[in-house]
Copies of this chain bind each other. A is one copy, B any other.
Amino acid sequence: MRAAAMARPSAIICDDAYLAFARLTQWWAARIRPASPAGIHPSAVVDPTAHVDPSATVSALSVIGPAATIAAHAVIGSHCVVERGASVGAGTVLKPRVVLGENCSIGSRCIVHSGAVIGADGFGFAPSQGRWEKIEQLGAVRIGDDVEIGANSCVDRGALDDTVLADGVKLDNLVQIAHNVQVGANTAMAGCVGIAGSARIGANCTIGGGAIVLGHLELVDDVHVSAATVISRSILKPGQYSGVFPFDDNAAWEKNAATLRQLHALRDRLRAMEKKIA
């Protein structure tokens, strides 16, 4: 996802070599790959009351009725499950083995890769006498246009309100989006990211692989989180944020890690010395 900075001045034939490369791959894919035929694979399990809407647009789909609605130019792959009240926009492709749960909607021109689960229950329980009482998850998932969701990723339904992915969001594989999360337009998350419940991520953010955002936090637009960083408080200023223990050979790490557990005490000793000298 970094721009290829390889074009020498004499070779520049377009403003953005990386974008040109993307376009070239699209042109090539269109030539060599037969398009998946629009329609519902016979092995998919679609709510029996679903109807295919030849004129379905995103706005039309936003009114969700009891029956599932699938745009005429959508592709529902093999072994997919589309539950009642769900809607799928025009040109959207559900690859094999995607689950789109009850009342969840996905816009136009999206791609959902195999194994993704959209609309499982959010993880909500109330403690009650040492046990957990289930909080039924009554919301759904609303996904905009031009969204891509990676293989085996999960987007949970909201508790009362919906979980929302805005237009142009891109999620890699094995990403977990908890209930009531809101992700702004064109934000991209690499593999193995986890976003905890009710977090609000702004637009045009990037979240590096394996990063975690804790629940109920806010990240404003244009925040960039480095891989494997744990975001434990809201970020209200755009920028790049990091927090990873630097790896080392094992022996060096062990010594530094052991010392780290005395760091606060070291600081106190340093202070004491500073006073003594002063």
Q: Which residue of B lies closest to A226 (CB)?
A: B250
Q: Measuring CB to CB, which residues of chain A are less than 8 angstroms from any residue of chain B?
A: 1, 3, 16, 18-19, 21-23, 25-26, 28-29, 32-33, 41, 43, 45, 77-79, 81, 95-97, 99, 101-102, 111, 113-115, 117, 120-121, 123-128, 130-138, 146, 148, 150-152, 154, 156, 159, 168, 170, 172-174, 176, 178, 186, 188, 190-192, 194, 196, 204, 209-210, 212, 214, 225-232, 239-250, 252-264, 266-267, 269-270, 273-274, 276-277
Least distance between A128 CB and chain B CB atoms (Å): 5
Contact B273 A264, beta carbon cutoff 8 Å: no
User: Can you name the residue of chain B whose Cβ is closest to the Cβ of A25?
Assistant: B136
Is A19 in contact with B260, judged by CB distance below 8 angstroms?
A: no
Determine the distance from Cα of A243 to Cα of B192 in the docked complex, in whole angstroms. 18
Q: How many copies does the complex hold?
A: 3
Docked-complex contact A127 and B19, CB < 8 angstroms: yes
Residue of B120, B241, B246, B255 near A151 (CB, 8 A) is B120
Q: Kindly state the separation between the CA atoms of A277 and B96 in the bound complex, as whole angstroms.
A: 70
A19 near B134 with CB under 8 A, answer no
The distance from the CB of A55 to the nearest CB of chain B, in whole angstroms, is 26
Shortest distance in angstroms between A3's beta carbon and chain B's nearest beta carbon?
7
Q: How far is the CA of A114 from the CA of B247 in the complex (A)?
A: 33
Contact of A114 with B132 in the complex, beta carbons under 8 Å: no
Instruction: List the B residue with the shortest CB-CB distance to A102.
Output: B33
| Known contacts A210-B194, A242-B254; A132 and B188 CB within 8 A of each other | yes
Q: Are B191 and A152 in contact (CB under 8 A)?
A: no
B152–A154 touching, CB < 8 Å = yes
Is the beta-carbon distance between A244 and B228 smaller than 8 angstroms? no
Tell me the bound Cα distance from A227 to B213 in angstroms. 9
A132 to B, closest residue via Cβ: B170
Q: What are 11 A-B residue pairs whose CB atoms fall within 8 Å in the complex?
A: A45-B79, A79-B97, A81-B114, A115-B117, A115-B154, A123-B191, A191-B196, A192-B212, A246-B257, A259-B264, A276-B277
Question: Which of B81, B96, B125, B242 meets A1, CB within 8 Å?
Answer: B125
Q: For residue A99, which residues in chain B have a CB less than 8 angstroms away from its CB?
A: 95-97, 114-115, 151
